[in-house]
């Protein structure tokens, strides 16, 4: 066996309040296992926050920071300069917009340091202007709001994306896959396989593997024609297709589609199409500050009044109430953590 190169890499994990623990811990523990397999500290890391104080994750566990933002800005010009900075965030990332953090991330990237994100951290990178014209990944639940807020970014529902010196992942166990990719770049496939064995992971997933369960498993539907029609619907939410256009695309008659949806989905294709458009609207309402009328347009409704009527019929509350309830829930969660 060829001797592995004696490389070293220093990482900074920047913790945004309400960050998600699973991708954070999966990333760090993957690096720890790599060090153990190598027999030396190839990867070292430190944790930072805006003020250097403890940051609470979305599950309420507080993590102590090693450094502050001011410390890390000084470190850029010294011997403690990192090889990579990873932004760790989770729920309510849309509420986080810190000009000092944005400036630090831009300076870090411009100095040739790799910059990346875990879970919803791509939102923070985009706010800093680092994802314009770049491929990136974010959790599927946040993708609709992200794509509306940052149309210049090329966002995909992939596990992770690497574009030049920018690394983004969708969160969850996808951070494990992105770290394995990093380890593979540094030390090759042999070490990656050894780390996988320690993790009890039977394979290294491709960055372009799907985030969500396949439609067949997610919906419990086996009919291939129905699944292909649903995929067609999900790909055309802002400008809904007519049933005739769907029929042409599926190679079926309108009557056949109506019958299939009644059998497999328990409702008409028009009703199902409306429900998935309203589901996307719900994500936009709780994950963005877009005006209700813009949410309506983004989900294929011709007017805000028609959108509100349909929304209330399905969810038993108005879009405005949905957003107000979400803000109240967020405020309650922050008070609980602070207590």
This prediction's pTM: 0.77
CA angle 251, 256, 262 (to 5 degrees): 130
Query: Positive or negative CA dihedral for 207, 218, 260, 299?
Result: negative
The H or E element that residue 338 is part of is: helix 319-338
In CATH terms, the superfamily for domain 215-330 is Homeodomain-like (1.10.10.60)
Per-residue pLDDT at 1: 45
82-to-45, 110, 146 alpha-carbon distances in Å: 9, 13, 28
Give Dmax over CA atoms of the chain in angstroms.
70
Pick among 3.40.50.880, 3.10.20.30, 3.40.50.1400, 3.30.360.10: CATH of 9-199: 3.40.50.880
Per-residue pLDDT at 52: 97
Domain range summary for the chain, segments of one domain joined by +: 9-199, 215-330
Q: How far apart are CA 157 and CA 169, in angstroms?
A: 10
Three-state DSSP at 155 gives: strand
Summarised one tens digit per residue, pLDDT across range 6-55 is: 789 999 999 999 999 999 999 999 999 999 999 999 999 999 999 999 99
The residue ranges of the chain whose pLDDT is under 70 are 1-5, 210-218, 327, 329-339
The residues facing 117 across adjacent strands are 87, 168
Q: How far apart are CA 127 and CA 138, in angstroms?
A: 14
Supply 223's token pair.
């009919």
Q: How far apart are CA 67 and CA 63, in angstroms?
A: 12
Is residue 63 within 8 A of residue 54, CB to CB? The reply is yes
């Amino acid at each position: 066996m060829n001797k592995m190169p004696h490389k070293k890499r220093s990482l900074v994990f920047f913790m945004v309040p309400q960050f998600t623990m699973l991708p954070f811990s999966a990333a760090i523990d993957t690096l720890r296992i790599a060090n153990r397999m190598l027999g030396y500290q190839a990867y070292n890391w430190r944790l930072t926050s805006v003020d250097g104080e403890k940051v609470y994750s979305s599950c309420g566990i507080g993590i102590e920071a090693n450094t502050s933002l001011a410390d890390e800005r000084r470190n850029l010009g010294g011997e403690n300069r990192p090889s990579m900075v990873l932004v760790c965030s989770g729920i309510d990332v849309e509420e986080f917009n810190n000009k000092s953090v944005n400036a630090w991330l831009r300076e870090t990237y411009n100095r040739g340091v790799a910059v990346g994100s875990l879970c919803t951290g791509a939102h923070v990178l985009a706010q800093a202007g680092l994802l314009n014209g770049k491929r990136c990944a974010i959790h599927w639940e946040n993708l609709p709001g992200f794509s509306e807020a940052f149309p210049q970014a090329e966002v995909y529902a992939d596990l992770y994306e690497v574009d030049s010196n920018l690394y983004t992942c969708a969160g969850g166990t996808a951070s494990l896959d992105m770290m394995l990719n990093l380890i593979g770049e540094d030390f090759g496939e042999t070490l990656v396989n050894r780390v996988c064995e320690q993790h009890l992971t039977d394979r290294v997933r491709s960055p372009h593997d799907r985030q969500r369960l396949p439609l067949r498993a997610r919906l419990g539907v086996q009919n291939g024609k129905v699944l292909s029609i649903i995929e067609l619907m999900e790909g055309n939410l802002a400008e809904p297709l007519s049933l005739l256009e769907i029929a042409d695309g599926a190679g079926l008659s309108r009557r056949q589609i109506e019958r299939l949806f009644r059998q497999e989905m328990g409702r008409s294709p028009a009703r199902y199409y409306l429900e998935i458009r309203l589901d996307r609207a719900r994500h936009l309402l709780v994950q963005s500050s877009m005006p209700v009328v813009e949410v309506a347009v983004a989900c294929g409704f011709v007017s805000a009044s028609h959108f509100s009527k349909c929304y209330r019929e399905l969810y038993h509350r108005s879009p405005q109430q949905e957003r107000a309830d979400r803000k109240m829930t967020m405020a309650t969660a922050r008070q609980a953590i602070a207590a």
